[in-house]
Amino acid sequence: MIQTDNRSHRSILKELARIAMTSRGLLPDFSPEAIAELDLLKPDSLLTGKIRDQRYMCWCSIDNHDSRDLDQLTVAEALPDGFNRLLVAIADVDTLVRKGSAIDQHARQNTTSIYTTAEVFPMLPERLSTDLTSLNYHCERMALVVDMTISKEGEMIRSDVYRALVRSRAKLDYITVGAWIEGDEPVPLEISRVAGLADNIKLQDTIAVQMKKLRHSMGALDFESRESTPVFEGDMILELRETQRTRARDIIEEFMICTNEATATFLADKKFPTFRRIVKNPKRWTRICEIASESGVSLPIEPNSKALQEFMAAAKKNDPDNFPDLSLSIIKLLGPGEYAIGFPEETSEGHFGLAVRNYSHSTAPNRRYPDLITHRLLKSAIEAKEVPYTHDELESLALHCTQKEDDAKKVERQVSKSAAALVLEHHIGEEYDAIVTGAAEKGTWVRIQHPHIEGRIISGAEGLDVGLKIRVQLVATDIENGYIDFKKVES
């Protein structure tokens, strides 16, 4: 049992994060062998093979304001035929993180960076992820470039993947760029001081809007979430603040979806296996149909993403205030994503939520191990080499990455709930509006509205199902285990 009295919130949460990681087979620290490898890395000596020089292009990064592990740069170009050219540069992590190295073994075990409330546990040592392999401002970096031609309707007409040398002209963040694009703020200084960058980002925004409209017409689902993030004052949590959604984030999300589809297609065309991200048809489709019927909408008996998207689009238009609650219910009922291998000449499952057949994580190799695997496959395909993994190895990695991603999310949720418990421990007995987010044999969970925190119903859970709105009372908190307990309040 950890001691919480007279300790800072940050130190408590850091200790809890390490305990939670270790209990799930995740490594909080790098091995001495991995640290020793860092001193042996010589980036300049690894610029080999056929590499294009694209340092002249108007590349920029758009990410969270405090992000230091920058995986992508983007740039766009208007073509004479009314089409647009979109390029996404992705950090070439494999150039320095060789398969089987001590650093690679750590990344392979954890499979992802773990973002807890008080501390980030990076998948790669920070000297790599925030420096040598990060696409930092004004730094020349190796990258895998996905070069796409996009129609006026937002459809990807053709694409290619190749290696290139790039240089970022600006480090931008979602909130600042979003406020400018949406017309609330003047052009940011970081944009105005680079000739042509303002027009380029506006073109990127136009392309992203076209892409999103087309995807939704094909059945891709549009969600809107409400999340609360702890705000620290020194080492103590001051409050839980709702995160902001901006159009700049939409730009990057649309481009990453398109890029991940392009990389999977590239590998399939080269007759290479693909390390796919899939979301199967929802097992709880019947409950989704029940939620739709409560609004007077009849969905097909069999899962249909296009029909579901049409229902959600109408719901967002008719009741925007309650749309985040609907989104949360549908997300919970769709079920989690997982990794699977698509082998040449085999039919593979697609991504139900995105309404795409070929989809492979490839845009965040500093943060996700599946992306690093995909990069190794891509580079081998580009250079006409043998597949760098056996079939059995890929199958084993897909299962491992799915399991460890689930473990990492559980750690992040547990520490997030511990942080919430620190905030709520003095609010025992207070009542809140809530929505049911989970209902199974192991328990029933709800998320309260203000602040947006999830906890378990320990009394009055009979008959509750996902999507129902109820009134609850906070009855207990457990900081060490991240428990927040409610009971249903009868009307």
- Asked if residue 389 has pLDDT above 90, the reply is yes
Mean pLDDT score, 136-157: 96
Percent of the chain scoring above 70 in pLDDT: 97
Computed over every residue of the chain, the mean pLDDT equals 91
Question: Which domains are assigned to the chain?
Answer: 9-279+351-418 (no CATH), 285-335 (no CATH), 425-488 (2.40.50.140)
Q: What are the pLDDT digits (tens) for 339-377? A: 999 988 776 667 777 777 788 999 999 999 999 999 999
Of residues 204 and 344, the one with the higher pLDDT is: 204
Quick one: pLDDT at residue 357?
74
- Asked if residue 267 has pLDDT above 90, the reply is yes
**CA dist., res. 420 & res. 479, Å (int):** 8
Place 129 in a pLDDT band, splitting at 50, 70 and 90. Answer: very high
Of residues 92 and 317, the one with the higher pLDDT is: 92
Place 127 in a pLDDT band, splitting at 50, 70 and 90. Answer: very high
The answer to whether the bond into 451 is cis (omega within 30° of 0) is yes
- Asked if residue 488 has pLDDT above 90, the reply is yes
Quick one: pLDDT at residue 48?
57
Mean pLDDT score, 26-30: 97
Of residues 61 and 281, the one with the higher pLDDT is: 61
Q: What are the pLDDT digits (tens) for 210-222? A: 999 998 888 877 7
SS3 330: helix
Of the candidates 271, 148, 288, 150, which has an alpha carbon nearest to the alpha carbon of residue 221?
288
**Three-class SS of 261-329:** HHHHHHHHHCCCCEEEEEECCCCCHHHHHHHHHCCCCCCCCCCCHHHHHHHHHHHHHHCHHHHHHHHHH
Place 204 in a pLDDT band, splitting at 50, 70 and 90. Answer: very high
Quick one: pLDDT at residue 238?
81
Question: b/e string for 223-240 if b means 16 or more Cβ within 10 A?
Answer: eeebebebebeeeebeeb
- Asked if residue 3 has pLDDT above 70, the reply is no
> Mean pLDDT lowest for which of 34-48, 84-98, 133-147?
34-48
What amino acid occupies position 322? N
Quick one: pLDDT at residue 44?
56
**CA dist., res. 475 & res. 446, Å (int):** 14
Mean pLDDT score, 290-307: 90
- Asked if residue 47 has pLDDT above 60, the reply is no
Quick one: pLDDT at residue 95?
92
Strands, E, within 65-117: which ranges? 72-78, 84-91, 114-115
Distance (Å) of CA 222 to CA 62, 145, 246, 298, 396: 21, 27, 14, 19, 32
Helices then strands, each counted (H, E), the chain: 13, 17
Structure tokens at 109: 């075990």
**CA dist., res. 217 & res. 309, Å (int):** 8
pTM: 0.91
Quick one: pLDDT at residue 271?
95
- Do 92 and 48 contact (CB within 8 A), yes or no? no
Percent of the chain scoring above 90 in pLDDT: 67
Structure tokens at 68: 């230091």
Block residue for tokens 């009542």: 431
Place 56 in a pLDDT band, splitting at 50, 70 and 90. Answer: very high
Mean pLDDT score, 380-387: 95
